[in-house]
Structure 1
Amino acid sequence: MQRWWRVFYGVIIVGLVGCGAATPTATPVAKSRVQAVLAASNLVVGPNRLPIGLIVDGSPINDPNVQVKLRLYYLDGTDAEKTQVAGEGSADYFGQGLPAGIYVTYPDFKKAGDWGVEVEATLPGKEPTVSTLRLSVLAQDPTPAIGSKAIAVDTPTVKTAPDLSQISSDPNPNPALYQLSIADAITSGKPTAILFGTPGFCKTATCGPSVTVLGNLQKTYGEKMNFIHVEVYKFPFSESVQANPPLLVPAMAEWRLQSEPWLFLLGKDGTIVNKYEGGITTEELGPMIDTILAQGI
């Protein structure tokens, strides 16, 4: 699981196989009553979704009224670059239905290497508090990149495994999310949303809410696009979770995923249009889906 969740919830998380990747990392370098934490496991050169969590007095918060501003510095640059603001902006709140709020901005990192992020958080009725993170930005994306073709995998469906309890750890699996495999969806001529997550064993407590969001989006958009949930662990799930290393479904390896949950949005030609690591909300995904459908992507 992602390194940030270990800080965020103050628990030791037994990660998925390979999830101990060293980069990128988020190392707090300044102590404060309000401390920012990075809510992502990898950042790359180019456009990114940068989610930030906030810990206040030792506990994660979920407050839409907190104002968050970010300033970026390129720490591997010249002395001038290290102190010059390379980008700044406000972060949008997305925490509806999640156990903790995330505050998201969308920077475009021009260079690989170490970056500094100055996070200014203003709680209601309080003075602004600044904390600092150090990020490692990778030259190449280890996960399927935006703009690349989705990887065709014959994931389980209601046709291949009628007993949904064997293909999803969700205690109440929604049949609508298991009608097509990833391979089928890519060639369907429709946009697709694919969520990799394990509702029954997600130690971050975000997978279950994310699967619920996916089901609600499926009800909203109906026949206009495909919605697929891919379970992370092989059946029987509890045995796979306890195995050393844990036993993951083939799709996790094929998509080179070392953390979860992940949500990928595909255009009708199977190209990855956008992706989201960690908990998702209707408020963040809905506008992007509307754009994809309106533009016929």
Structure 2
Amino acid sequence: MSEPELSRRTFILATGSVALVALSAKVAGALPTQNRDISPLVLSSDLYASPLPQRLVLAVAVGKKYDSSSPAKIEIQAPESSETKVLDTKLYRSGLPQGRGVYVSEPVLPTAGIWKARLITRGEKVPFVLQVQSTPIGPSVGTLASKSASPTPSETMGVNPICTREPPCALHKTSLDTVIGTGKPVAVLFATPALCQSQYCGPVLNELLKIYKKYPEITFVHVEIYKSNRGVELSPTVEAWGIESEPWFFTVDGAGTVVGRLDGAFGREEMVKQLNALQSN
């Protein structure tokens, strides 16, 4: 099977922001023009200054196609610093689209600003940049999750459809405002299978549907990103949670505190890891 084509639109959206693409373009070129050019695609959309490790996720393009066939490391350099650090990555393929595995590392990013970075793979060092914000945009680990409602069949909150998956999934029976902070752990997936720009949302939801029944103690809720199939206006729940990309996966303990989060792209293995931690919390 051939590797999936990488469109220019997908490339731009994968980096998380137009500004970041512009900065990356100055370093490495916004889109590969030669057949075998290597390009790192930053899928993390909410990196922020913190003394704690956080998840950095990349996809890789070779030419105009995704490629996850080779091991990789990441070299990072803080703003206004000459020191560099090389990080190992873990390659995840299970539960992700064919040929579109992702590379995950856990750097410590204590300083806000534009970090220089290099993808080390196939004997090459490919420069790119990371935009690290001073504070997170979405809920971070250790903060309280929003107790806003989410659409259900009986109360759609103006969202139509409440699930763009075909057939619709069964994770819309419970509104988040009835379970967050009530003593029961909750797992929330924000994803729009029909409209997802990165095309990771559908596979992520399908993987979750394969495993959620193994965790009867946890309440699972899927929330669509948009109010309609026009893909313009965000759903009220997405606005309340303050997220600006898709997909996102949050685990929330019984007290309503966020204890885990994944964004950009993730498969079964990373979700299982977070669900196991939530269940034993």
Shorter-chain TM band: 0.7 to 0.9
State the SS of the aligned residue for 1:109.
coil
Give the CA RMSD over aligned residues: 2.5
CA contact (8 A) 1:24 1:135 kept: no
Q: What is the rounded CA distance, in whole Å, between the counterparts of 1:23 and 1:70 in structure 2?
A: 18
Q: What is the rounded CA distance, in whole Å, between the counterparts of 2:22 and 2:148 in structure 1?
A: 30
- 1:291 matched to 2:277? The reply is yes
- 1:43 matched to 2:47? The reply is yes
User: How far apart are residue 201 of structure 1 and its match?
Assistant: 1.7
State the SS of the aligned residue for 1:108.
coil
CA contact (8 A) 1:199 1:208 kept: yes
- 1:33 matched to 2:37? The reply is yes
Q: What is the rounded CA distance, in whole Å, between the counterparts of 1:209 and 1:49 in structure 2?
A: 20
Equivalent residue, structure 2, for 1:141? 136
**Aligned equivalent of 1:97, options 95, 98, 116:** 95
The one-letter amino acid of 1:10's match is: S
User: Which stretches in structure 1 are left out of the alignment for 5+ residues?
Assistant: 1-7, 123-127
Equivalent residue, structure 2, for 1:208? 202
- The Cα offsets for residues 57-76 of structure 1, whole Å up to 9 and x where unpaired, read as 3311133xx211112111x2
User: How far apart are residue 288 of structure 1 and its match?
Assistant: 2.4
**Aligned equivalent of 2:60, options 44, 54, 58:** 54
- The Cα offsets for residues 155-195 of structure 1, whole Å up to 9 and x where unpaired, read as 1224435xx973111111222x1122111221342221111
User: How far apart are residue 20 of structure 1 and its match?
Assistant: 5.6
User: How far apart are residue 25 of structure 1 and its match?
Assistant: 7.3
1:192-207 equivalences in 2 (<5 Å): 192-207=186-201
Equivalent residue, structure 2, for 1:160? 155
- 1:10 matched to 2:7? The reply is yes
Equivalent residue, structure 2, for 1:132? 127
User: How far apart are residue 103 of structure 1 and its match?
Assistant: 0.2
User: How far apart are residue 26 of structure 1 and its match?
Assistant: 6.2
CA contact (8 A) 2:148 2:240 kept: yes
- The Cα offsets for residues 196-248 of structure 1, whole Å up to 9 and x where unpaired, read as 11112223211111111221231221x121111001122xx33x32xxxx122
Equivalent residue, structure 2, for 1:273? 259
- 1:231 matched to 2:205? The reply is no
CA contact (8 A) 2:76 2:117 kept: yes
Q: What is the rounded CA distance, in whole Å, between the counterparts of 1:89 and 1:292 in structure 2?
A: 27
TM-score of the two chains, using structure 2 as the length reference:
0.84
Q: 1:134 to 1:271 in 2, by over 3 A?
A: same
State the SS of the aligned residue for 2:143.
coil
Alignment coverage as a number of residue pairs: 261
CA contact (8 A) 1:152 1:186 kept: yes
State the SS of the aligned residue for 2:9.
coil
CA contact (8 A) 1:26 1:136 kept: no
User: How far apart are residue 93 of structure 1 and its match?
Assistant: 1.1
CA contact (8 A) 2:6 2:61 kept: no
**Aligned equivalent of 1:263, options 249, 255, 259:** 249
Q: What is the rounded CA distance, in whole Å, between the counterparts of 1:58 and 1:179 in structure 2?
A: 41
User: How far apart are residue 109 of structure 1 and its match?
Assistant: 0.6
Q: 1:20 to 1:116 in 2, by over 3 A?
A: closer
Q: What is the rounded CA distance, in whole Å, between the counterparts of 1:94 and 1:267 in structure 2?
A: 26
The one-letter amino acid of 1:91's match is: T
User: Which stretches in structure 2 are left out of the alignment for 5+ residues?
Assistant: 30-35
TM-score of the two chains, using structure 1 as the length reference:
0.79
- The Cα offsets for residues 267-288 of structure 1, whole Å up to 9 and x where unpaired, read as 2211111211122211112122
The one-letter amino acid of 2:207's match is: V
Equivalent residue, structure 2, for 1:5? none
**Aligned equivalent of 1:183, options 169, 173, 177:** 177
Percent sequence identity is 26
The one-letter amino acid of 2:8's match is: V
State the SS of the aligned residue for 2:125.
strand
